Structure 1
Amino acid sequence: MPASMPTETDTFAAAWEDWHAVHEQHRADPHGFLAVTHLHWLDGHAARLDGAPGAWSVENDVVRVVLEAGESLLQDGRELNTAAGATLDFGPIEERGGVNLVSGSTVLELAKRGGAYVVRPRNPQNGLLRDYRGTPSYAPDPAFAVGGTFVPFKAPRPTTVGAAVEGIQHVYEAPGEIRFQLDGQELTLTAFNGHAPGTLSVLFTDATSGKTTYAANRSLTVAPAVDGTVRLDFNRAVNLPCAYTDLATCPLPPAENRLAVAIEAGEQIPYERQARS
């Protein structure tokens, strides 16, 4: 008997499987967020940090690192200094920007979050990364891939949102909102600029949050066409780093993006978070 032709649902599921495999590969990068071992907040007092050489401090928007004899840091493959008492200065760094420094097999992420400076060592031997076994997800369902319209604001709106760690806030520029229908309801989501040119990022929660999906947030990337039409494939809604580790500073959704409908699509609560519940 001739082999049956794949159905539209089969093709949709296969495309999702390919996409999610690439996403999982990126998430398990040896120096990705699963490799973060510590979250160090810097202040004006020089302090040695677990997982990093030197004594670190920040003053007037400049981070200073004082190395001892035998300690070194690399930046872009170049050794900065190994002399005893060497002083290195970095900054100022833009909000949500950062610098990667290397110490042995560890990458040190020096970044600015919520107006404060942080250092996050990323070690490939971190247990969270070493034991990672993938993320559970809903089976792909074309019913949760819907069309919508991106409606730009007259001017981008600065939008302040909370963070996964207490004490800081994030400010994003929202260029507009996305209007769509799901489960017979008219819905709207405020969109932020995405990482890639021409994309938008949507942070949201829904009626599954805290039940089958991570309570604080999920993220969906979309790419509006020139005429504003957009496809929201919630099967590709993903967890942010804070779903896996408490060493993340992820933003929370704006209040208007807390949807009452159940979006039973996309990534679910990670195994790592389930184990701590």
Structure 2
Amino acid sequence: MTVSTTGTDFAREWEDWHREHEARLADPHGFLAVTGLHWLTDEPERFGDAPGAWSTGPDGVTVVLAEDEELVVDGRPVRGEHRFGVLPERGGVTARWGDAVIEVAKRGGYDVVRPRHPGHPLRTSYRGTPAFAPDPRWVAEGRYVAFDEPRPTAVGAAVEGLQHVYDAPGRVEFELDGRAFALTAFGGAAPGSLFVLFTDETSGVTTYAANRSLQVDPPGPDGTVRLDFNRATNLPCAYTDFATCPLPPAENHLPIAVEAGEKIPRERA
């Protein structure tokens, strides 16, 4: 996507983007609707915000539903015992339970259940996330430098003791305020895109302390990239303790105050 950096066009494009971002965050089954983070073991366990008794083992996640309980998986009602199977790292599936969604996922090598209820007060009382006013000063033209081979990069997590491992395909090099910087990049959700996790001198002051996230469009044929820090966002852990978000690699701290993007959520103020 081409972003203008001229006056009102730049501000309007940012406002449109932020409005869409806020709508996704406040989705009835988004992260603001999560009511619990349940770590599964080989001992079946029931949770107050989900049906059934849940467990995991070599064959993956299993739920055993009581006679009066039902889940809808892949559009099909299931009763009794249901096996979700072995889930890939950072993968997951969802099941419907009334107006709720039950997320079954693997994070940091552990199987978890994370129910999402639209009526959760964190979602219904959400008033939006404060952000810095958009400023073209925080748009940088940079260069993507691919590593010879993707580098497995271990990072911490919002949950103490948990670790994530991402393959870093390269880094992005750029300048801000006349100073040169580089950030280790991970593969983004869209083909060819990147995302970076970082902190800076605003972290823990005006922005969320643990991490900030920035999506980067696919590099051009010559490796050029555009980093618009006005679009730096919070990860789910900025809003809820029921998230397992990754922390930035140690080298991804910028020793300047990047006064752009989303600020500390009101829920954490």
Task: Tell me which of 51, 68, 71 is aligned to 1:70.
Answer: 68
Deviations 1:161-215 (A, max 9, x none): 0000012100000000000011221100000000111210100000000000000
**Match in the other structure for 2:222:** 227
Structure 1 residue 76, shift from structure 2 partner: 2.2
Map of 1:4 onto structure 2:
none
Question: Which residue, 198, 207, 210 being the options, matches 1:204?
Answer: 198
Aligned partner of 1:172: which letter?
Y
The runs of 5 or more residues in structure 1 that have no matched partner are 1-6
Task: State the Cα RMSD in Å.
Answer: 0.9
Q: 1:20 maps to which residue?
A: 18
The sequence identity of aligned pairs, in percent, is 62
Task: Determine the structure 2 residue equivalent to 1:269.
Answer: 264
Question: What residue in structure 2 maps to residue 259 of structure 1?
Answer: 254
How do residues 23-42 of structure 1 correspond to structure 2 at under 5 angstroms?
A: 23-42=21-40
Where 2:195 maps in the other structure, the secondary structure is strand
**Equivalences, count:** 264
State the match for 1:244 in structure 2: 239
Q: Is the contact made by 1:75 and 1:102 (CA closer than 8 Å) also made in structure 2?
A: yes
1:181 to 175, 184, 199: 175
* 1:107-122 alignment, distance < 5 Å: 107-122=101-116
TM-score, scaled relative to structure 1: 0.94
- Residue equivalent to 1:133: 127
Q: Are the counterparts in 2 of residues 101 and 107 from structure 1 also a CA contact under 8 Å?
A: yes
| Letter aligned with residue 259 of structure 1 | L
179-188 or 136-145: bigger deviation = 179-188
Query: 1:254 is aligned with what amino acid?
Result: P
Q: Distance in 2 between matches of 1:50 and 1:185?
A: 52
Q: Distance in 1 between matches of 2:6 and 2:173?
A: 26
- Could you tell which deviates more after superposition, 52-61 or 169-178? 52-61
CA 1:177–1:207 in 2, change beyond 3 Å: closer, same or farther?
same
Offset of residue 156 of structure 1: 0.3
Deviation of residue 61 (structure 1)? 4.4
Please report how far the alpha carbon of residue 9 of structure 1 lies from its aligned counterpart in structure 2 after TM superposition.
1.4
SS in 2 for 1:13: helix
What is the SS of the residue equivalent to 2:17?
A: helix
**Partner Cα distance (1:25, 1:135) in 2:** 11
User: 1:62 is matched by which residue type in structure 2?
Assistant: G
Specify the code of the residue in structure 1 equivalent to 2:197.
L
Structure 2: where are the runs of 5+ without partners?
none
1:15 is paired with a residue whose SS is helix
Partner Cα separation in structure 1 for residue 50 and residue 18 of structure 2: 33
The residue type paired with residue 256 of structure 1 is E
Helix, strand or coil at the partner of 2:114: strand
Distance 1:269 1:178 in 2: 25
